Structure 1
Amino acid sequence: MTARVRSRVDRWFARRPALALAALLPVGAVTPFLPVEVGVAAFALGTLVVGMAHGAIDHLVPLRAAGVSARRSFAAVGGVYAVLGGAVVVGFALAPAAAFVGFVALTWLHWGQGDVATLALAGVDHLPTTGERGLAAVVRGGLPMAVPLLAHPDEYRLVAEWTVGLFLAESAASAAVDPIFSPAVRTATAGVMIGATLASTGAGYVRVRAGADRRGWLRDAAEVALLWAWFLLAAPVFAIGVYFALWHSLRHVGRLVLLDPTAASAVEAGDLRGALSRFARDAAPLTLGGFLVVAAVGLAVPRGPAPAAGAVAPGDALAVSLVAIAALTLPHVAVVAWLDRRQGVWRSGPFG
């Protein structure tokens, strides 16, 4: 893979979407004054457009990254999805509040994981050690998961109650999520996020003073500042919906494009449409499968979603989607962690 291909993927799938998110800041700032259903619609659209698809070629990752046979690749990833995805659904059935917290923690890990891989693709050199990359992941993953808890706890709590309420009565669901939104938890979360942001940015600056490339550090700091602003200003459901599609998913799609020689050749020729078409073709079957998982969860949960007047309530639809996404996220994280190890993302030394 040439530096030119890597640079184009970084530009198309990371830097331009980041500029688009910055342009949306004024829109995000208005969303706390709008009904939460607006956020649910944004989340649904983002999931439909690219969110579900970004993990839909996991079955091809071992094939393309390690050259294993298609049969072994499909069987291994299929087994991981069946076992880990099933465990998540069982976890929600047995202890829904704990499972919700676990999903938040897992997403924190995964979204930090994804952004560090993007910084690796960009070739930044101010994160030379595993510890510094881990600290950057804490910041990057925590921004979408923790900052809304600080800035918009009421809507965050509403989503938690909707999700836990699929498995418990309304009063029990409210009581179950109480500890998550206690002042002590919010204070500790604020301390972690502010401290980690300052420590990561400061450590990067020390590396720049010692000779690391300033441009990579400035990009990292600017993206962190943008994400702080986005999640402080925008209503949580809307903010996550846009971020999921425009930021996290597209960055991962770019990474996967580089694993496919045909798509990478299209990138080298400057053919973005060709690269995306190739990805869409590969992802289409299991993207549909992901939506079938959402439907299956909707049928399986004990308390909803119950159609009222012929329509499912937006809160119920969002909650079912989150449980299904949680079931898909744990095995997806396992596949991405394997790819990270294969590509040396967390190994100290220059990004390769």
Structure 2
Amino acid sequence: MALTREVSGSEGVPATARGPLRILVCWLPWLPVAAATLAFALGLSVPREWRYVPLVVSVAAFGLPHGAVDWAALPRAAVGGADLYRPWRRGRHARLDRRWLAVVGLVYLVFGGAYAVGWFLAPAAAAVAFLALTWFHWGQGELHPLREVLGADHLDARWRRGLTVAVRGALPMGVPLLAFPGRYRTVLDSFVAPFGGTVPAWPFGADGRLALGGALAALTVGTLAAGYRAAGDRRGWALDAGETALLWAYFLAVPPVFAVGLYFCCWHAPRHVARVLVLDGRARDALSRGHLAGPLARFAREAAVPTLIALVGCGALWRLAPAPETTLEGAAAVYLVAIAVLTLPHVVVVTWLDRFAGYW
């Protein structure tokens, strides 16, 4: 089997489908993130246990399930699910090529299995790798909504897309370290503790944070300036700049565990779900008629069984971990390690989708 897509072109989104998708791409992310930013900036404090509520919610609401349809998304893209302008091919959209289904299964088995072993052999290195991987993945997850739904035409060049990925991924992964170094380190420690590892202290010192903050600020300003000069329609650039400013403020104001959990549920995951819906011919037709509930219900059905399997995997990881803590923090740590194990093959699938869409 030649592992190339049978059609070419970008994952364009029909104009008639953008209205429903903006609920997932705009309103669902913007409102809770803006509200949390304002509340914590004004002095809101939540009990320690409540900081984990978004992570608990993520088990069922968008978070964990958002990657659970990789088994269908990649085959749909591979056989032409993103070829939106050839309705005579739509009969093929309902067919999930078995060869591509096998490819997705193999990706999860090989990459997920190898990374799971890495957590037992070198937990500190695996945790650092997870931060780097998530930095890239949460950045790459912004390209599709910015280009195809928000109309950011300044992302027409590969190097500007690369800079945008670096900036957007740095916001949830790097900015919390600047404002909450102690809590950030506590979370990392909780990752590696069940597997017998320790986290080095030097990244959390004042000098390291100062260097990181300066680099991230310069990268952000430079990337937005390059986009401004290239933008044909400045409205798309303004939305990009506004979101970037909002996320800077959010991750500086909101404690890391709560901030990352809410971002995962309400920002990153719904935007990926929006992309996946467009790959499904039936869902896309419903979106073009202004319907969102039906496509989301279809997504939920397709994600249900893989999500349950992932939860079983979380339980197995808990049983196999050498020293899991029987606390809320300990359970959350093992859950995040399970998310890490699933993230690597998920990134492989999404990068494949990006390749099909012509982003790289």
Fold shared per TM-score above 0.5: yes
Q: Secondary structure at the match of 2:59?
A: helix
Q: Match for residue 229 of structure 2? A: 206
1:129-168 to structure 2, matched below 5 A, reads 129-168=157-196
CA distance in 2, matches of 1:153, 1:32: 19
Higher-helix-fraction structure? 1
Contact 1:120 1:345 in 2 (8 A): no
Distance 1:85-1:71 versus aligned 2 partners, 3 A rule: same
Q: What stretches of structure 1 of length at least 5 have no aligned partner?
A: 306-311, 347-352
Q: Decide which of 185, 190, 211 is 1:188's aligned counterpart.
A: 211
Contact 2:40 2:253 in 1 (8 A): yes
CA distance in 1, matches of 2:125, 2:279: 36
**2:120 counterpart of 1:93:** yes
Q: Match for residue 312 of structure 2? A: 292
CA distance in 2, matches of 1:233, 1:72: 47
Q: Match for residue 228 of structure 1? A: 248
Distance 1:163-1:274 versus aligned 2 partners, 3 A rule: same
How many Å apart are 1:9 and its aligned residue?
A: 4.6
Q: Match for residue 5 of structure 2? A: none
Q: Decide which of 238, 242, 257 is 2:258's aligned counterpart.
A: 238
Q: CA RMSD in A?
A: 1.8
How many Å apart are 1:103 and its aligned residue?
A: 0.2
Q: Match for residue 22 of structure 1? A: 34
**2:24 counterpart of 1:13:** yes
Distance 1:224-1:52 versus aligned 2 partners, 3 A rule: same
Q: What stretches of structure 2 of length at least 5 have no aligned partner?
A: 1-11, 80-94
Q: Displaced runs of 4+ in structure 1, greater than 4 A?
A: none
Deviation larger for 214-223 or 90-99? 90-99
Deviation larger for 60-69 or 332-341? 60-69
How many Å apart are 1:4 and its aligned residue?
A: 2.3
Distance 1:69-1:48 versus aligned 2 partners, 3 A rule: closer
How high is the TM-score relative to the length of structure 2? 0.88
Query: For each residue in 1:277-318, what CA deviation from the matched residue of structure 2 results, as whole angstroms up to 9, or x when unmatched?
Result: 01101111101111111111111110014xxxxxx3011011
How many Å apart are 1:222 and its aligned residue?
A: 0.3
Contact 2:14 2:288 in 1 (8 A): no
Q: In the alignment, residue 333 of structure 1 is paired with which amino acid?
A: V
Contact 1:6 1:121 in 2 (8 A): no
**2:55 counterpart of 1:35:** no
1:1-352 to structure 2, matched below 5 A, reads 3-20=14-31, 21-29=33-41, 33-67=45-79, 69-122=96-149, 123-168=151-196, 173=198, 176-208=199-231, 212-305=232-325, 312-346=326-360
Percent same amino acid among aligned pairs?
A: 44
CA distance in 1, matches of 2:269, 2:305: 17
Query: For each residue in 1:180-201, what CA deviation from the matched residue of structure 2 results, as whole angstroms up to 9, or x when unmatched?
Result: 3233432232122101100011
